[in-house]
Amino acid sequence: MAAPVEALRILLLEDDAALREDILLPGLAEYGFAVAGVATAAALYESLRTQSPDIVVLDVGLPDADGFSVAQAVRALLPNIGIIMLTGHGATSEQVRGLSQGADAYLVKPAQIELLAATVHSLARRLRGVAVAPATQAQKWQFDAGDWCLIAPAGHTIPLTKTEHRVMARLASTLGQLVTREQLVAVVADDVHDFDPHRIESLIHRLRRKVLAHCGEPLPLKAIHGKGYVLEDGKRT
């Protein structure tokens, strides 16, 4: 299992206050990112004077600037930073323009938080130069505690929510050993006495389905009837 790393730092530029404060910021935080938000290009430039984010997520339509020009300026100022553009326009020409003017990725609104989180992880791995091992080599599932994601043997990244992260951290801490349902309840519940233990089964079911949908491979998680779960090594040979 991979060693923890510092949380990815994201600076979000979105002028729609409701979208920024009620959806994007808390949504990204739920996936473990250290995220801050601003409403204007001027505020973005001011923040970049004192902050060093790993990735900037910016809206194309801004009240004080053109998003494409902002992407160009940020790229010139910080050549190694990651840039993800958000726009309400899905035209191919707009996407090509965004990518050619400095963006690393281009998502059409309304962008699902899970898709945005996955894009952030994928971009971060490219920026860090993390290569996927050749398919001919023995590979394992990886749980990246610091980046809040699972990495499948083929290299697919599955972003984890706060609750999913807690469950995977507990399972991965005793790899190959039984983790009881009660132990999983203890890591996800604020009050274990008010928590329905059957919610663990639902959470595990959703996590398995999510992993399979993302990468086409089942998570090597074995259910022990009436007891709990065992996260297996999951080595591919």
Quick check: do 9-128 and 142-231 share a fold?
Answer: no
pLDDT band at 84 (very low <50, low <70, confident <90, very high): very high
pLDDT band at 234 (very low <50, low <70, confident <90, very high): low
List the chain domain ranges: 9-128, 142-231
- Strand 221-224 with 228-231, pairing: antiparallel
Helix or strand run (H / E) with residue 179: strand 178-180
- Whether the per-residue pLDDT at 237 is higher than 50: the answer is no
pTM summary value: 0.73
Q: Give the range with max mean pLDDT: 7-16, 119-128, 190-199.
A: 7-16
Cα distance between residue 176 and residue 233, in whole Å: 7
CATH of 9-128, one of 3.40.50.1100, 3.50.50.60, 3.90.79.10, 3.40.50.2300: 3.40.50.2300
Class of 142-231 in CATH: mainly alpha
- Whether the per-residue pLDDT at 181 is higher than 80: the answer is yes
Cα distance between residue 12 and residue 22, in whole Å: 13
pLDDT, tens digit, 9 for 90 and up, residues 200-228: 999 999 999 999 988 888 999 999 988 99
More confident residue, 214 or 180: 180
- Whether the per-residue pLDDT at 6 is higher than 90: the answer is no
pLDDT, tens digit, 9 for 90 and up, residues 42-60: 999 999 999 889 999 999 8
151 DSSP β-pair partners? 142, 157
Cα distance between residue 3 and residue 188, in whole Å: 22
Which candidate, 218, 72, 99, places its Cα nearest to that of 156?
A: 218
- Whether the per-residue pLDDT at 195 is higher than 90: the answer is no
What is the model's pLDDT at position 31?
92
Average pLDDT, whole number, for the chain? 86
Quick check: 139 and 133 in contact, CB under 8 A?
yes
